[in-house]
Amino acid sequence: MDFFKLKENNTSIKQEFTAGFTTFLAMMYIVPTNAIIMSKTGMPIDALITATALATILATVLNGLWANTPVAMSVGMGLNAYFTFGLVIGMNIPWQTALGIVFLSGILFVALSFTNFRIWVVKSIPIDLRRAISAGIGCFISFIGLQQIGIIANNDAVLVSLGDIKNSNVLLGIIGLLIVMAFWSWKIKGAFMLAVITTSIIAWVFGMSPVPTEFLSTPASIEPIFLQFDIKSVLFDASGVFTLALLPVIIIFFVTDLFDSIGTLTGVGSKAGLFTGKNQNDSKRLEKTLEADALATVGGSLIGVSTTTTFVESASGVAAGGRTGLTAVFCGLLFILTLFLLPFFKAIPANAIYPILVMVGVLMFTELTNVNFKDPAICVATFFIVILMPLTYSITNGLAFGFLSYFIVRVLRKEWEHINLGIIVLSIISFVIFLVH
């Protein structure tokens, strides 16, 4: 096991396995959760369950072997919701075309992973705006979760209002939300998956959902979604003319994945003493982890899932002692077990899943605690990013308003030292987004 440099990192095979198992329990929920969310696009849920498990296995093991970091990867929460509700349902884009967007954003990520562009992007955008983006996406996916549960309902007079909380399915979702909040606040290991199971059992006992007659089966085929991405429709319009109409969306997937990964790796790294920047090896491990993330996104789009990214649940494995890529390898291999749980995952009611989406949004929203609201430009931009993502049902619109308002306030206040080329480029792109809207 010298490949993982266990002695150098003061760890052991047993410790790494324990850490990998801990991370697996913490993020096992992603398989049924992603499958149910993405199935709203019309994609078959059976194939999505297998594809999500495969994407998690390949991405996590790849990172363990390539970067030697205890970081697990899977289909990103937030971007899968944007894929489903923002692009396919909101913009009426076929899921094949949406997969093409994910593929191209992944190719862009891979191409730029071997340059200094990533560092340039990260340094160009103030850290407070990056935090606002995370909080905005959290608000967006929580809004989607509350809407899908039925707590929020459409109202022609005032756009949205409180749903029918007397409805049994809505009550199930509310119970599920209370359960996941309780398990998370009690810091129970595998809180999300345990909440899903507990809520499902309640649904089965009270006849709200069919009780599964079996729990294990052979994995479903991914043939219906494998290699079904459509690049042509992303680059050309119906008449065959080259168009960049969907370029902003490609950039949104790329930038969001980049920021999500950087933020997650910073948090996980601080717990393990990784990515501190104190030596060249730290920088290489960070770069290799981002490279694995980029390659995994391309691979995921081929398999048939949305953008993959690093998972904050990796912190639970790090807290359990994980220090090397062996933790990630063990975690990835454990996800093989989920390939055979198709009947169980299919029996989980949707309202046992959507509370998880709300809770993930809550955790992302906490990034606002570190935002400097005393800075007028940051304050205005953060407000527009956070409020307009859910209200316009679009991450793209929220980011565009945010970058433009930041730039305008800086210009009005003549704070030229805070305006760099990256901000100017992003502001121009944001302006173009509204021109072609």
| Burial letters 416-425, b for 16+ CB under 10 A, else e | eebbeebbee
pLDDT recorded at residue 395: 74
User: 300 in helix, strand or coil?
Assistant: helix
pLDDT recorded at residue 41: 92
DSSP annotation string for 340-387? G-HHHHHTS-HHHHHHHHHHHHHHHHGGGGG--TTSHHHHHHHHHHHH
Looking at the DSSP bridge assignments, the partners of residue 236 are: 242
How many C-beta neighbours within 10 Å does residue 124 have? 15
Q: Give the separation between CA 17 and CA 362, rounded to whole angstroms.
A: 30
From first to last of its 437 residues, what are the pLDDT tens digits of the chain?
Answer: 578 888 887 888 888 898 888 888 878 888 988 999 899 999 999 999 999 999 999 999 999 999 888 889 998 877 888 889 888 888 888 999 889 888 888 888 788 777 777 667 666 778 888 788 878 878 888 888 898 888 988 888 888 888 888 898 999 999 999 999 999 999 887 788 889 899 999 999 998 888 888 888 888 999 999 988 888 877 776 655 556 666 777 777 777 766 666 666 655 655 555 655 555 565 677 778 878 888 888 888 899 998 888 887 787 777 777 888 899 999 999 999 999 988 888 888 889 888 888 888 888 788 888 899 999 999 999 999 899 988 887 777 888 888 899 999 999 999 988 888 878 877 887 777 676 55
Contacts for 391 with CB less than 8 Å, ≥ 6 apart: none
User: 328 in helix, strand or coil?
Assistant: helix
Q: Give the separation between CA 37 and CA 34, rounded to whole angstroms.
A: 5
Tokens 């990998």, residue located: 20
Read off the amino acid at residue 380: V
CA proximity to 105, closest of 312, 286, 226, 261: 261
pLDDT recorded at residue 193: 83
pLDDT recorded at residue 433: 64
DSSP annotation string for 57-115? HHHHHHHHHHT--S--EEEPTTHHHIIIIIIIIIS---HHHHHHHHHHHHHHHHHHHTS
pLDDT recorded at residue 273: 59
What letter would DSSP give residue 316?
A: H
**Can you read off the two tokens belonging to residue 422?**
């990256």
Task: State the DSSP H helix or E strand holding residue 395, giving kind and residue range, or none if neither.
Answer: helix 395-412
Q: Give the separation between CA 316 and CA 275, rounded to whole angstroms.
A: 17
Q: Give the separation between CA 289 and CA 207, rounded to whole angstroms.
A: 45
Contacts for 370 with CB less than 8 Å, ≥ 6 apart: 128, 131
What letter would DSSP give residue 285?
A: H
